[in-house]
Structures are given as structure tokens and as C-alpha cells.
């Protein structure tokens, strides 16, 4: 187990370094941040002065080496827009994004498990049709459109829920539903297919023949054995929720790293974009490592080595 964890951590380092390299070089082709920082009427001398102050006039390999050396220490430099350390800005906003992603995952996973189990147990009946219809709608409706419709219905027309910002628990409802709708739909279909496969196995019939209640058979025997692909997709989806929060946070004016990333991209704030992507990628990699370690608890046949 220790060898496996060590090897995965080494792989994670290579993945994060690769992401940092791609981020650096892709940002270079988006435009000149020095030009974006000066008024349109400013002369070339002002642009050159900003380039020299930010070190953008140095050769690209030197800029990259400086960037990587700072990133190893968690130092991405000062934000070009806010003139404070980029890491501080991201870490200040990251809890809001994490809370939103967790809220979206909780509602998505709980709802999809219920729908998926009911759909599998009541196969080819009205409940199955309703669950698969909801799953199809969840995967078909674009996130931005759903967010706008929820705002118009529950925020503007009915006035039940806030439409923007982060205040109390009610402010989580609309963004969490919007963010987790696609994940809920996909997980529902996965739970249904996994449960249908497991419910036909011999050990399920044996459990029923022993006189165990249907609830015990479904939850303790069927669902646990169908959980491996579900846990895998949930781990991937959590990283997707962190990244996909960019659209949702923009729609609901949520004070998280997704909205911060959008602002940084439009302003060509290279240090802030780099810090944003680094922290999101790091959390994604760690969540997937945790998911791999859960396999042994769910299925004793799985051996990590």
C-alpha cells in the first residue's frame, strides 16, 4: 500500500508539472498583459516600461524557469490586477468554491442514488421511466440555461431564493442544483446500469433465499458491489465540479475561484490564472488518489500495489 501511494504521489507531481507547463505556454499566445494594463491612448514607452517591470521582456525560457522556481514554493507572483500575491487571492476564494462543489456533490449523489436504485428495482415501470427521463433532461440541458431559468423562476418570479452572492444556506440552493445537475443525471444512469447487472447475480438470489429483507439485499449486497464504478465517476465528477464552477459562479456572482479565473483571463492576469489552475489541479489529483484508496474498502478483492 505504501509503495502504491508513493508511486501515485510521484505521478501526481508529474501531472501537476505538466499542467503548469501547458498553462504557462498557452497563456503566452493569449496576448500581451502589459498592453492590457495601459490605457488605449498610452504610448509604446509605457508598455515597454511595464514589460520591464514585470520581467516580460526577458527571454521565454528564463521567464519559464522563474515561474517554475516560484511555483515550487507556492509563489506565483503578484496579481497584475489586484497587486497582491496571487496565491493569497486564490486561497481566499477557494473555500467558497469548495463549499459550492461539496453542496452540489451532496445533492447530486443523494438524488442519483435514490433515482438509480428505484429505476433498477422498478425496471420497465412508471418509476423507471420517470427516473430515466429526469436523467436524460439533466444531461441535455446546458448549465448556463438551467441557471438562468432557476433564477427567473425561484428568484425573480417567486422570490423564494436569492439570485446572487453568498450569504446563508439559501444562497447555495440554486447554484448547487445548477452545478450538480449534469453530474446527477450521469450518476443516476450509472447506478441504474450497475444495479441491474448486480441484481441478476447468484449471490443476490442467495441473500433473498436466506430471508433477508429487500432493503438489506439492495443496500448491503447489491449497492456495495456496484459501487466501484460509481465511486470512480464521483471522484472524477468532483474535480469537474471544481472546474465547472466557472460558469455557475459567473451566473450567480459566486465569490469563488471560478469567477476569479474568468476575471483574471479577461484581464490577462497571468500570475492569477496560473495560481488558480494550480490549486484546482492539485485538489483534483488528490481527490482521485483518495478514490483509489477507497476501492480496497469497498471490494476486498481489489489489491493496490
pLDDT of amino acid 219:
75
Would you say residue 280 has pLDDT above 80? yes
Domain termination residue (choose one: 43, 72, 101):
72
Would you say residue 304 has pLDDT above 60? no
Would you say residue 289 has pLDDT above 60? yes
- Statement to judge: residues 56 and 134 lie in one domain: no
**Mean pLDDT value across residues 98-107:** 89
Domain termination residue (choose one: 72, 98, 119):
72
Confidence of residue 295 (pLDDT cuts 50, 70, 90): low
Confidence of residue 83 (pLDDT cuts 50, 70, 90): confident
Examine residue 219 and state whether it is found in any structural domain, yes or no.
yes
Lowest mean pLDDT among 41-50, 76-85, 105-114, 180-189: 41-50
- Statement to judge: residues 22 and 98 lie in one domain: no
- Statement to judge: residues 98 and 140 lie in one domain: yes
Examine residue 267 and state whether it is found in any structural domain, yes or no.
yes
- Statement to judge: residues 164 and 195 lie in one domain: yes
User: For a pLDDT cut of 90, what percent of the chain falls above it?
Assistant: 2
pLDDT, one tens digit per residue, over 12-32 is 888 888 888 888 888 777 766
pLDDT, one tens digit per residue, over 153-196 is 998 888 888 888 888 888 889 999 988 888 888 888 888 888 88
The C-alpha cell of 296 is what? 480496497
Domain termination residue (choose one: 20, 40, 72):
72
pLDDT, one tens digit per residue, over 206-242 is 877 877 777 777 777 777 777 777 777 887 788 777 7
Q: Decide which of 5 and 175 is more confident.
A: 175
- Boundaries of domain holding 189: 87-298
DSSP string, the chain: -HHHHHHHHHHHHHHHHHHHHHHHHHHHTS--HHHHTS-TT--HHHHHHHHHHHTTTS-HHHHHHHHHHHHHTT---B-TTT-SBHHHHHHHHHHHHHHHHHHHHHHHHHHHHHHHHHHHHTTTSHHHHHHHHHHHHHHHS-HHHHHHHHIIIIIIIS--S--SS--STHHHHHHHHHHHHHHHHHHHHHHHHHHHHHHTSHHHHHHHHTT--HHHIIIIIIIHHTHHHHHHHHHHHHHHHHHHHHHHHHHTT--SHHHHHHHHHHTT-HHHHHHHHHHHHHHHHHHHHHHHHHHHHH-TT----
Residue corresponding to grid cell 508598455:
47
Mean pLDDT of the chain: 81
- Statement to judge: residues 282 and 221 lie in one domain: yes
- Statement to judge: residues 97 and 58 lie in one domain: no
Closest CA to 188 of 230, 223, 156, 219: 230
CATH number at residue 100: 1.10.3720.10
- Statement to judge: residues 125 and 255 lie in one domain: yes
Examine residue 173 and state whether it is found in any structural domain, yes or no.
yes
Examine residue 112 and state whether it is found in any structural domain, yes or no.
yes
pLDDT of amino acid 297:
62
Would you say residue 303 has pLDDT above 80? no
Report whether 63 contacts 56 (CB < 8 A): yes
Residue corresponding to grid cell 444562497:
171
- Statement to judge: residues 266 and 197 lie in one domain: yes
**Mean pLDDT value across residues 137-148:** 86
- Statement to judge: residues 17 and 122 lie in one domain: no
Examine residue 303 and state whether it is found in any structural domain, yes or no.
no
User: For a pLDDT cut of 70, what percent of the chain falls above it?
Assistant: 90
Angle at 61 between CA 58 and CA 65, to 5 degrees: 100
pLDDT, one tens digit per residue, over 249-275 is 888 888 888 888 888 888 778 888 888
Q: Decide which of 16 and 293 is more confident.
A: 16
- Statement to judge: residues 145 and 256 lie in one domain: yes
- Statement to judge: residues 96 and 54 lie in one domain: no
Examine residue 162 and state whether it is found in any structural domain, yes or no.
yes
Examine residue 169 and state whether it is found in any structural domain, yes or no.
yes
pLDDT of amino acid 286:
81
**Mean pLDDT value across residues 58-70:** 82
pLDDT of amino acid 152:
92
Examine residue 304 and state whether it is found in any structural domain, yes or no.
no
- Statement to judge: residues 228 and 203 lie in one domain: yes
DSSP string, 58-96: S-HHHHHHHHHHHHHTT---B-TTT-SBHHHHHHHHHHH
Confidence of residue 37 (pLDDT cuts 50, 70, 90): low
Number of domains the chain is built from: 2
pLDDT of amino acid 279:
84
Confidence of residue 300 (pLDDT cuts 50, 70, 90): low
Amino acid at each position: 500500500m505504501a509503495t502504491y501511494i508513493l508511486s501515485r504521489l510521484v505521478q501526481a507531481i508529474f501531472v501537476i508539472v505538466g499542467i503548469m507547463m501547458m498553462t504557462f505556454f498557452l497563456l503566452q499566445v493569449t496576448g500581451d498583459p502589459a498592453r492590457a494594463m495601459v490605457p488605449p491612448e498610452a504610448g509604446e514607452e509605457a508598455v515597454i516600461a511595464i514589460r520591464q517591470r514585470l520581467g516580460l521582456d526577458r527571454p521565454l525560457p528564463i521567464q519559464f524557469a522563474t515561474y517554475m522556481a516560484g511555483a515550487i514554493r507556492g509563489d506565483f507572483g503578484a496579481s497584475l490586477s489586484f497587486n497582491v500575491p496571487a496565491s493569497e487571492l486564490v486561497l481566499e476564494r477557494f473555500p467558497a468554491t469548495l463549499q459550492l462543489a461539496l453542496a452540489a456533490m451532496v445533492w447530486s449523489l443523494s438524488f442519483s442514488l435514490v433515482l438509480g436504485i428505484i429505476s433498477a428495482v422498478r425496471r420497465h415501470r412508471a418509476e423507471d421511466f420517470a427516473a430515466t427521463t429526469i436523467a436524460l433532461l439533466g444531461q441535455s440541458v446546458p448549465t448556463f440555461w438551467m441557471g438562468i431559468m432557476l433564477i427567473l423562476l425561484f428568484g425573480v418570479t417567486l422570490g423564494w431564493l436569492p439570485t446572487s452572492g453568498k450569504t446563508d444556506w439559501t444562497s447555495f440552493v440554486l447554484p448547487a442544483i445548477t452545478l450538480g445537475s449534469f453530474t446527477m443525471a450521469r450518476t443516476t444512469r450509472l447506478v441504474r446500469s450497475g444495479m441491474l447487472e448486480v441484481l441478476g447475480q447468484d449471490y443476490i438470489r442467495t441473500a433473498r433465499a436466506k430471508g433477508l429483507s429487500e432493503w438489506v439485499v439492495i443496500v448491503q449486497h447489491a449497492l456495495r458491489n456496484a459501487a466501484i464504478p460509481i465511486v470512480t465517476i464521483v471522484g472524477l465528477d468532483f474535480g469537474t465540479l471544481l472546474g465547472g464552477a466557472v460558469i455557475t459562479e459567473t451566473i450567480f456572482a459566486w465569490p469563488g475561484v471560478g469567477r476569479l479565473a474568468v476575471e483574471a483571463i479577461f484581464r490577462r492576469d497571468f500570475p492569477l490564472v496560473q495560481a488558480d489552475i494550480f490549486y484546482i489541479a492539485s485538489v483534483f489529483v488528490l481527490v482521485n488518489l483518495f478514490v483509489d484508496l477507497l476501492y480496497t474498502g469497498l471490494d476486498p478483492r481489489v489489491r493496490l500495489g
